[in-house]
Amino acid sequence: MTLTQEQITKTFELMQERSEAPKLTPEQLNAIDLLILGKTDREVAEAVGVRRETVTKWHKNPFFSAELSIRREELWADAKLRLKALVYEAINVLTSGLSSPDEKVAITTAVHVLKTVGLYGEVKQDFGPSTPEEAIWKQAVERRINVYTALRPDSFSDWAERNHMSDLAKEDAAKMMRYWYEQAVAEQKRELKEYRKRAKLQEATQLPQIELAPAIEEGEDDLTQGQEDGPEPIET
């Protein structure tokens, strides 16, 4: 859901005294590294050492989801730069394809050209909210719309959502923005606290290094003992 400039301004006016955004745990950062590579939640959970449900919960964390969106956008931006370097060659291929004697090849090529210039439908890449504020806003709006549909399922329609309840939900969400933001901050702080507790426990369970005494060869101790108990030398 896109925010208008008026809505963004109103939101920040309500949140001037908000808490500082907490950092992500190393586990969450590692999970993001794997997710942008296309790993599933289950694969990420196994690699990071957490339950799959934990990764699912992180997706609902505004700070986690915002960072994930930023990283995906960065990866997509790099991919687009690499694709732009192939534009000239791609145009030559499309030009040849349009002149192909194979009708299927020619049609497919034509469709690609139309899509490229935006006459066949525009391909948009939406990676989700890129800031915690936008993520919280989106979740708050969805909560209000879900409440509406539960109370008035008979009147719910695309028109109602677009033209009426969506606006009311945004207005209500703006009022509740600070509350939901502080809730998200508190949740992420609990996540950090739990991570530090696990790290401290892991450090405490590591056995200390024990310095071993030098080994004594068999018979050496007896020989030394015998020398100490033997008669003193006779003076001449």
What is the mean pLDDT of the segment spanning 110-131?
Answer: 70
What is the per-residue DSSP string for 69-96?
Answer: HHHHHHHHHHHHHHHHTTHHHHHHHHHH
pLDDT of residue 96: 84
The whole-angstrom separation of Cα 55 and Cα 78 is 26
Burial label for 136, CB within 10 Å (0-12, 13-18, 19+), is buried
- Domain ranges, ordered by start, for the chain: 23-82, 86-127, 131-197
DSSP tag of 230: S
Fold of 23-82: Arc Repressor Mutant, subunit A (1.10.10)
The whole-angstrom separation of Cα 140 and Cα 142 is 5
The whole-angstrom separation of Cα 129 and Cα 140 is 13
pLDDT tens readout for residues 154-178 = 554 554 555 555 565 556 656 677 7
CB 111 within 8 A of CB 98: no
Q: What is residue 130's three-state secondary structure?
A: coil
| Token duo for residue 97 | 């394809």
The whole-angstrom separation of Cα 58 and Cα 70 is 15
127 contact partners, CB below 8 Å, separation of at least 6: 69, 72, 73, 76
The whole-angstrom separation of Cα 90 and Cα 86 is 6
Size of the chain in residues: 236
pLDDT tens readout for residues 44-57 = 999 999 999 999 99
The whole-angstrom separation of Cα 54 and Cα 57 is 5
Mean pLDDT, rounded, of the chain: 75
pLDDT tier at 223 (50, 70, 90 boundaries)?
A: very low
